[in-house]
Amino acid sequence: MSLVADALAALEVDRLLLGIPDRSFPGDPETDTGAGAPDSTAGRRFLAWVRALGFTGIQLAPQGETSDTNPSPYDGTIFARGPLALAVERLSGLVAPRTIARLVRRRPPGAPERVAYRYALAAHRAVLGEAYATFARRRPPALAARLAAFRARARAWLDPAAEEADVFAQLVLHEQHAAMRAYAHDLGLEVWGDLQVGLSARDAARWRHLLLPGYRLGAPPSRTNPEGQPWGYPVLDPGQADAVLAFARCRFEKMFDEYDGLRIDHPHGLVCPWVYRDDTGDDAAAVRAGTRLHESPDLPELARYAIARRDQLNPDPRTPRYADDWVVALEPAQVTHYAWLVDALLDAARRHGRDGRALACEVLSTCPYPLARVLARHGLGRFRVTQKARLDDPHDPYRADLARPEDWVMVGTHDTPPLWTVVDRWRREGALAARAAYLAERLAPPGADRAAFAARLAAAPGLLVHAELAALFASPARQVAVFFTDAFGLEEPYNRPGTIDERNWTLRLPWDYQARHRARLRTDEALNLPLALALALAPTARDGDRAALRQRLETAAAAWRCGEVPA
């Protein structure tokens, strides 16, 4: 760990986060009830191992309650925690041991690298019910006092009609998260959350008085999704600014109470939301014909919400509404208007002793002018998802070499194929040579034959993967994130965008993840962190301390290949 920390410091990388949803944590065959649980014994063991590898934090997905049929964490509740990742073993004082044993025994058969979604959800709801029944019979004073204190703290977001059993379940889930986070802090790990862009159906019912009727939130047509995405999320009504701001502040304060930093899911939704009519009967066509809520002074039904004026829109009539340059000019007061929710988010961060470095803004292939101005207002960066970079475009926003220190760089996200399968696709498409040449320009050691180095990368897919990862560390960005599928050499994507079925969003690490990781390291098919860092240091490690550090990393990389991985 100290070697990796030295390398990160030399490369001026402040954070190295492992992205992994809580449900995807590995379990233990003796206690696994079908889903990962960060506060379980197995979950804590995994956190310690992640820290031993050299990561400085974990990035969790949203942890709200999801429905029986839709496992997407991005469609879960924004305040209430979901029971899927409950550490059942921590309830041994309130739940009979035979109940826990029965849940483990009845876990559906199948591969341990898959969440048993419906089973675990139902089982964990049932076990929370049994725990509450035990509490209700005994009402131990200490636990009763904690429940009363929690109910008072959560009054702003709890449903007033919630039964005591529901509040009790939330107490258990919040206390487990707090205990896990405290354990992570003892290890030296930060715990990052995910501020999802949408509201669940349950949230929409709870907060319906704050919603704009007639419209839904979606994603505009873009390079990644040319048809756009009709997310179907409700839209907060900017005509109720004071009430919406109070709601947002409540949410932001809660998130910073529970996490060390936040991934901002599609920050366009906070600044310049893309909206479409919900009454056309064809959402796919409606989202393509949508508009940005605050940039439509020419549409009578939305003109009252416009911040940009007509004279500030692109004069070229061929410019589509979703184009980054649909708006071409803004005055400072207008930028302040656009930034009202982001300003509130930063205010909450500061009240918790943090600043803009505690935010990771998921800006992908598009960055509309108003959003760019708001990011610049606070010195916030964007995402550079390097597997998507177009090598023939020197201005492509996904290129790591274009990153700024405030940016976040990664080879992939929960929405992309694992890098190991992407490299195989490049090979089949005949694109490996160009990719290798691009990487060689940035990573070849001083005096090395770049063409020979590129040929070496192209001939060894595992080495090319590590060069892709090395390019993250060698970039100007000071924040690096690696999704767990990319770290462990998995070949199945975590999410296939636009898909709702039993398998999507349910990939997890198997019980024997350490052994599988060691086996993959032998053939460069999983992240060998010292190897990636050594490659990143190569261009500047001419002599002295950096050269010695690079040598130490190469020695460690060879040891990792032989199975000598920190435990």
Percent of the chain topping pLDDT 70: 100
SS3 readout for 24-92: HCCCCCCCCCCCCCCCCHHHHHHHHHHHHHCCCEEECCCCECCCCCCCCHHHCCCCCECCCCCCHHHHC
| Total count of residues recorded for the chain | 567
> Tens digits of per-residue pLDDT, 151-174?
999 999 999 889 999 999 999 999
CB atoms within 10 A of CB 213: 10
Q: In angstroms, rounded to a whole number, what is the distance separating the alpha carbons of residues 174 and 192?
A: 15
Residue 292, in any domain of the structure: yes
**Structure-block tokens of residue 566:** 């920190």
> Tens digits of per-residue pLDDT, 299-321?
999 999 999 999 999 999 999 99
Q: Mean pLDDT across the stretch 457-472?
A: 96
Residue with tokens 């509309």: 368
Q: In angstroms, rounded to a whole number, what is the distance separating the alpha carbons of residues 394 and 63?
A: 38
Residue 407, in any domain of the structure: no
pLDDT(1) > 70: no
DSSP 204-233: HHHTGGGEEEEEEEEE---SS-TT-EEEEE
169 touches 135 (CB < 8 A): no
pLDDT of residue 135: 98
Strand pairing class (291-292; 274-277): antiparallel
Count: domains in the chain: 1
**Residue 429, helix vs strand vs coil:** helix
CB atoms within 10 A of CB 122: 14
> Tens digits of per-residue pLDDT, 506-549?
999 999 999 999 999 999 999 999 999 999 999 987 778 999 99
Q: Mean pLDDT across the stretch 232-242?
A: 97
Q: Mean pLDDT across the stretch 491-516?
A: 91
Q: Mean pLDDT across the stretch 344-372?
A: 97
Ramachandran sector of residue 28 (left: φ over 0; alpha: ψ -120 to 50; beta: rest): beta
Contact partners, residue 57, CB within 8 Å, separation at least 6 = 15, 16, 17, 18, 189, 190, 191, 192, 260, 261
Residue 365, in any domain of the structure: yes
> Tens digits of per-residue pLDDT, 216-227?
999 999 988 899
- Rounded to an integer, what is the distance from CA 54 to the centroid of its chain? 19
Residue 472, in any domain of the structure: no
Q: Which helix (H) or strand (E) is 348 found in, with range?
A: helix 340-351
- Residue 360's domain spans which residues? 201-381
DSSP 311-346: GGB-S-TT--TTSTTSB----HHHHHHHTHHHHHHH
Q: In angstroms, rounded to a whole number, what is the distance separating the alpha carbons of residues 333 and 544?
A: 51
Q: In angstroms, rounded to a whole number, what is the distance separating the alpha carbons of residues 556 and 524?
A: 14
CB atoms within 10 A of CB 430: 8
Residue 66, in any domain of the structure: no
Torsion, Cα of 224, 228, 233, 236 (10° steps):
100
Confidence of residue 367 (pLDDT cuts 50, 70, 90): very high
Q: Mean pLDDT across the stretch 43-54?
A: 98
Residue with tokens 């910073």: 256
Confidence of residue 337 (pLDDT cuts 50, 70, 90): very high
Confidence of residue 185 (pLDDT cuts 50, 70, 90): very high
Residue 492, in any domain of the structure: no
Q: What is the largest CA-CA distance in the chain?
A: 76
Residue 219, in any domain of the structure: yes
Its pTM stands at: 0.97
pLDDT of residue 215: 98
Contact partners, residue 170, CB within 8 Å, separation at least 6 = 80, 81, 150, 154, 158
Percent of the chain topping pLDDT 90: 93
Percent helix, percent strand, percent coil in the chain, to nearest 5: 50, 10, 40
Q: In angstroms, rounded to a whole number, what is the distance separating the alpha carbons of residues 64 and 452?
A: 50
pLDDT(501) > 90: no
pLDDT of residue 202: 94
Contact partners, residue 73, CB within 8 Å, separation at least 6 = 21, 23, 61, 62, 63, 64, 66, 194, 196, 505
Q: In angstroms, rounded to a whole number, what is the distance separating the alpha carbons of residues 187 and 47?
A: 8
Residue 121, in any domain of the structure: no
pLDDT of residue 117: 96
Q: Mean pLDDT across the stretch 347-360?
A: 97
Q: In angstroms, rounded to a whole number, what is the distance separating the alpha carbons of residues 565 and 293?
A: 51
> Tens digits of per-residue pLDDT, 242-273?
999 999 999 999 999 999 999 999 999 999 99
